[in-house]
């Protein structure tokens, strides 16, 4: 919607709809989202680059004071994408004391990173998480026990 039609809508007391787009990997509540983008074309290009299968369109209904009155979320599955049967898993370490984090492909890399961090910072404790696309982060308890 252009600026003139927006001003016309506001002058007539009508609500204004603001739309933006996100690239996302699933329709689950714990999903990865990337964006926002002003156009569907931008979001779709980024989703394909990231290997995501969905777009998410957010619509904010604003009143005359530009306050959000309603939010609508609409998922669109991208044509020609194949959702993976097997979820890709990455490992994430995060220090519970200082918040420093890192991403790893292999478990031994996470363990080496944790050993170095805890050696250089006494009394720090590193936690390990696994991230499966569409499932979010899950802590692996007792991974160093």
- What would the pLDDT profile of 47-90 be if each residue is shown by its tens digit? 988 888 999 999 998 888 888 889 999 999 998 876 544 457 88
pLDDT of residue 145: 65
pLDDT (average), residues 24-53: 89
Which residue range is the domain that position 101 belongs to? 89-139
Are both 65 and 122 inside the same structural domain? no
The span from the CA of 67 to the CA of 62, in Å, is 5
Domain closes at, from 24, 52, 77: 77
State the burial class of residue 117 (Cβ atoms within 10 Å of its Cβ: 0-12, 13-18, 19+): buried
Per DSSP, the chain holds a count of helices (H) and strands (E) of 3, 8
Percentage above 90 pLDDT, the chain: 37
From edge to edge, which strands make up the β-sheet containing 54-62? Answer: 33-37, 16-24, 54-62, 68-77
State how far the Cα of 95 lies from the Cα of 111, in Å rounded to an integer: 12
- The reported pTM is 0.49
Query: Which pLDDT value is given to residue 44?
Result: 94
Same domain, 7 and 71: yes
Number of domains in the chain: 2
């Amino acid at each position: 919607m252009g600026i003139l039609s927006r001003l016309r809508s506001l002058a007539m007391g009508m609500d204004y709809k603001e739309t933006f787009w996100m690239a996302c990997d699933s329709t689950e509540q714990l999903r990865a989202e990337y964006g926002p983008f002003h156009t569907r074309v931008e979001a779709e290009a980024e989703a394909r680059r990231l290997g995501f299968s969905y777009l998410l369109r957010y619509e904010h209904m604003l009143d005359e004071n530009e306050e959000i009155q309603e939010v609508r979320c609409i998922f669109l599955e991208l044509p020609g994408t194949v959702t993976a049967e097997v979820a890709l898993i990455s490992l994430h370490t995060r220090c519970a004391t200082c918040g420093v984090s890192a991403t790893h492909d292999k478990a031994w890399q996470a363990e080496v990173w944790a050993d170095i961090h805890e050696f250089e910072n006494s009394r720090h404790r590193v936690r390990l998480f696994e991230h499966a696309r569409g499932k979010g982060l899950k802590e692996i308890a007792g991974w160093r026990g």
